[in-house]
Structures are given as C-alpha cells and as structure tokens.
Amino acid sequence: AKITFIQHNGTEQTVDGQAGMTVMETAVKNMVPGIDADCGGACACATCHVYVEPGWLEKTGPRNPMEEDMLDFAFDVRDESRLSCQIKVSDVLDGLRVRVPEKQF
Ligand code: FES
C-alpha cells in the first residue's frame, strides 16, 4: 500500500507500506523525518504522532483507549490525530496520506 507522508513544510514523500506493518514502522524504515517513535511502537511515547488527512479517518478507524491516553502527551493534538504505531497498513489504506506535526512533544 502506498503511503504519503506530508511534512510540516509541505514536502511529500510517498513510500511503500507492507501489509501487517504499522504506519510508524513504514515511516522509520523509509527514514521519513519527524517520526521519532522513541518507544518502538509500544504506544508509550506519543512521538509517532501524525494527522490523518481528510477522507482517510474512516479507513484508519478510531483511536484505541491506550492511544487516547498517550495522545495527551503529544504536541498540538487535533481531531485527526493518531499515533502512527497504532495504524496497521493494509490494502484498504492504499493511498493513505498523513501529515507529520511540526514537532513531537
Ligand atoms: Fe511510541 Fe507510537 S512509537 S507511541
């Protein structure tokens, strides 16, 4: 599945995400800047925070309760905020666009 990461300055990077991997792992593997993922995907750091672009929120699904708690620690949380380690890549998400926040924390 193709996933596009949009940086705060508008730079876009489209990478190939493997089904079963998380969006965070996809970003790290492709060295997408701005996804720190300090905890390695354990939903314990909130430095993999992204904004899901309009139109994709339904497909990425709702936040899970642990993620909800962790997002309290993220910078500039919005309705479309997700922790990218909690979004699993699948064919349904082919074309997904997420925005990287200005900073993590
Ligand atoms: Fe730490 Fe997602 S990588 S919360």
From ligand 1's centre to the CA of 39, what distance in Å?
A: 5
The answer on pLDDT for 84 being more than 90 is: yes
Residues 48 and 73 sit within 8 Å (Cβ to Cβ): no
Minimum-distance ligand 1 atom for the alpha carbon of 67 = 4
Q: What is the pTM of this model?
A: 0.97
Cα–Cα distance between 28 and 52 in angstroms, integer?
17
What ipTM does this complex have? 0.99
Minimum-distance ligand 1 atom for the alpha carbon of 43 = 4
Note the pLDDT tens digit of each residue in 33-69.
999 999 999 999 999 999 999 999 999 999 999 999 9
CATH T-level assignment (fold) for domain 2-95: Ubiquitin-like (UB roll) (3.10.20)
Structure token pair of residue 38: 């300090």
- What pLDDT, on the 0 to 100 scale, is given for residue 105? 83
Closest C-alpha to 32, from 72, 71, 54, 3: 3
The answer on pLDDT for 78 being more than 90 is: yes
Write out the H or E segment, with its range, that includes residue 80.
Answer: none
Burial 67-100 (b: 16+ CB within 10 A, else e): beebbeebeeeeeebbbbbbbbbeeebeebbbbb
93 lines ligand 1 (CB under 6 A): no
Query: E strands along 25-77, which residues?
Result: 49-52
From ligand 1's centre to the CA of 30, what distance in Å?
A: 17
